[in-house]
Structure 1
Amino acid sequence: MLAGTAAPADGLIKDTTTAAFRQDVIAESMKQPVLVDFWAPWCGPCKQLTPVIEKAVKAAGGKVKLVKMNIDEHPQIAGQLGVQSIPAVFAFDRGQPVDGFMGAQPEAKIKEFIARLVGPGSAAADELLAEADTLAKAGDLGGAAELYAAVLAEEPENLAAIAALAKLHLQLGDIEGARRFLAMAPAAKANDPAIAGARAAIEVAEQSASLGDLAAFEARLVADPNDHQARFDLAVGLGGKNRREEAADQLLAIIRKDRGWNEDAARKQLVQFFEAWGPTDPATIAGRRRLSSILFS
């Protein structure tokens, strides 16, 4: 979208006038920061900046708004603010101009500018979460925890960060710590997939912790390969130790031999594993495929 065309009707971006400036900028900035983009139809750099700044504002997830003002039609406010060249962007917070820049800027610079105003917003939080996930998979649990905590410092109800920290504590063997983080999630979000997954992971860890040494179940299976209860308990124990493929193997073996054993317990446990591991985990994807081949063969 070029400056001067109709603004999106999502409430985040709009055009304003001198008469509407007090409501659109001063009053609105009492709720969240408002960026004011001063532009003109003849300004080439303005046309470069507008789509970039609009994209960044949308990515901030409602933590900042954008108001555009055509200075050819409404020169008074720009004059009062001492605008000498355009494009010029001013950030208003709590009714006052607090920051700004002039000239077209790259997207990364605009994101940094917005982040200074609102902290890690939606886009920045997503980037931190992705980086934290990478560190966690690489085994740097401390580094991952720091990044998840940084997201929560700005967004205390960020469900992905809450769930990730709960699971991180499970990897450290701290079930109580995992419960404490899970308790941070709003009650209304209890069924969110991320929170439900963390809750399932905690339940698996609790079940596994109650089983003790897994060697006893392995010995029972050597004596009797059809001891489904021993195989089931072994699967739960393996799941609690994050040995995902092995855990799925044991449950699938039960389902293959006796689908209805113990009121479908093996399939139900496998589904709980899938929920705890997450839908995109390789073990979940492979397990679902194998389960389907058994159930629908």
Structure 2
Amino acid sequence: MDTPILNEGGAGSPDADLIKNSTTADFMRDVVDASMTVPVLVDFWAPWCGPCKQLTPILEKAVRAAKGAVRLVKLNIDDHPEVPGQMGVQSIPAVFAFQDGKPVDGFMGALPESRVTAFIARLVGENADSGADIEAAEAALAAGDVNMAAQTFGEILQNDAENAQAAAGLAKCYIKTGDLARAEQTLALVPPAKAESAPVTSAKAALELARKAEETGDVEELRAKLAADPSDPQTRFDLALALNAGGDRQGALDQLLTLVKENRAWNDDAARKQLVQLFDAWGPADPATSTGRQRLSSLLFA
């Protein structure tokens, strides 16, 4: 029976402010703007998706039980593919948590009720207790102040050992300093229930990229090699990884998108797959991710 997933919580429903269906046109209002005052869960689903039919009623029940601490917005990806496409949704069901206008957590697949309830409780609790500290730590990391970021993430973890966002942030600090072993150890401490959350997935992708970058070589040497043979796909691929490791995200995008355009089939679609991993590592809120996804879509669907 498919009826529960189509419950829209219309204007006359007591759930109207808690649970609603949205569209591409209304996504900014229903999700981004609304999340400035209360966390908003976005449920990406489709009518043909069996696991979605299992998950959505569980989400609705958990959101009602939270009594206004969180809202749920459902988006049918068949009718409205633009937003999930920009956010890199590869499979459904996919749930993203928005807070302060940006995605802060999420998970894939149909989780049992206990894990959905724990996810919401963690989201609300972490936003209340440590959201400002995490935002400050992430800002410090983005600004290159790795020591300050690591110290703040570490303090958060001392008070909340299961804070997946802080663990992911601390792991990224270790990655920045080249201590990949400690980054891996930090991610291994994340509880299994949070291992698929968006921040942890991003940190894992960043760790794998860092390992690949260790094998690629020097940027200038790769540039010279590519200049000598512009048709060499492996050198262009390696240069993209080296550029990303050096912080040149735009340069990495340019090289991989060129490879997609000129030789997409190379190495089993490796350039496109590498772009997806970059987007995972950078996170959906990063401007490079948004730009890269748009440029990739233009190439694939031109």
TM normalised by structure 1 equals 0.58
Matched letter for residue 150 of structure 1: E
Matched letter for residue 217 of structure 1: L
Gap regions ≥5 residues in structure 2: 1-66, 70-124
2:191 counterpart of 1:190: no
Describe the superposition over 1:73-118 as per-residue Cα deviations: whole angstroms up to 9, x where unpaired.
xxxxxxxxxxxxxxxxxxxxxxxxxxxxxxxxxxxxxxxxxxxxxx
1:289 is aligned to 294
Deviation (angstroms), 1:188: 3.2
* Distance in 1, Cα, partners of 2:221 & 2:149: 35
The correspondence of residues 24-173 of structure 1 with structure 2, limited to 5 A, is: 122-173=127-178
Return closer, same or farther for 1:58/1:136 CA change in 2, 3 Å cut-off: farther
1:222 is aligned to 227
Return closer, same or farther for 1:192/1:153 CA change in 2, 3 Å cut-off: same
CA contact (8 A) 1:207 1:240 kept: no
> Which is worse superposed, 163-172 or 141-150?
141-150
2:264 is aligned to 259
* Distance in 2, Cα, partners of 1:201 & 1:215: 22
Structure with larger Rg = 1
* Distance in 2, Cα, partners of 1:145 & 1:212: 28
1:178 is aligned to 183
* Distance in 1, Cα, partners of 2:68 & 2:228: 62
CA contact (8 A) 1:204 1:236 kept: yes
Deviation (angstroms), 1:58: 8.2
Deviation (angstroms), 1:234: 0.8
The correspondence of residues 242-281 of structure 1 with structure 2, limited to 5 A, is: 242-281=247-286
Give percent identity, aligned residues only.
44
CA contact (8 A) 1:220 1:230 kept: yes
Deviation (angstroms), 1:287: 0.5
Deviation (angstroms), 1:143: 1.7
Describe the superposition over 1:8-38 as per-residue Cα deviations: whole angstroms up to 9, x where unpaired.
xxxxxxxxxxxxxxxxxxxxxxxxxxxxxxx
Residue aligned with 1:212, SS:
coil
Deviation (angstroms), 1:237: 1.4
* Distance in 2, Cα, partners of 1:131 & 1:258: 42
Q: Which runs of 4+ in 1 moved over 4 A?
A: none
Deviation (angstroms), 1:216: 2.9
Describe the superposition over 1:45-96 as per-residue Cα deviations: whole angstroms up to 9, x where unpaired.
xxxxxxxxxxxx987xxxxxxxxxxxxxxxxxxxxxxxxxxxxxxxxxxxxx
Describe the superposition over 1:266-289 as per-residue Cα deviations: whole angstroms up to 9, x where unpaired.
000010000011011111111001
Deviation (angstroms), 1:121: 5.4
Number of aligned residues: 181
* Distance in 1, Cα, partners of 2:151 & 2:222: 38
Deviation (angstroms), 1:244: 1.0
TM normalised by structure 2 equals 0.57
Q: Which structure is higher in RCO with an 8 Å CA cutoff and minimum separation 6?
A: 2
CA contact (8 A) 2:153 2:169 kept: yes
CA contact (8 A) 1:200 1:276 kept: yes
2:241 counterpart of 1:239: no
Matched letter for residue 218 of structure 1: R
Describe the superposition over 1:179-229 as per-residue Cα deviations: whole angstroms up to 9, x where unpaired.
121111112332222111111100000000122323332122111111111
> Which is worse superposed, 263-272 or 128-137?
128-137
* Distance in 2, Cα, partners of 1:159 & 1:243: 27
Matched letter for residue 135 of structure 2: A
Gap regions ≥5 residues in structure 1: 1-56, 60-119
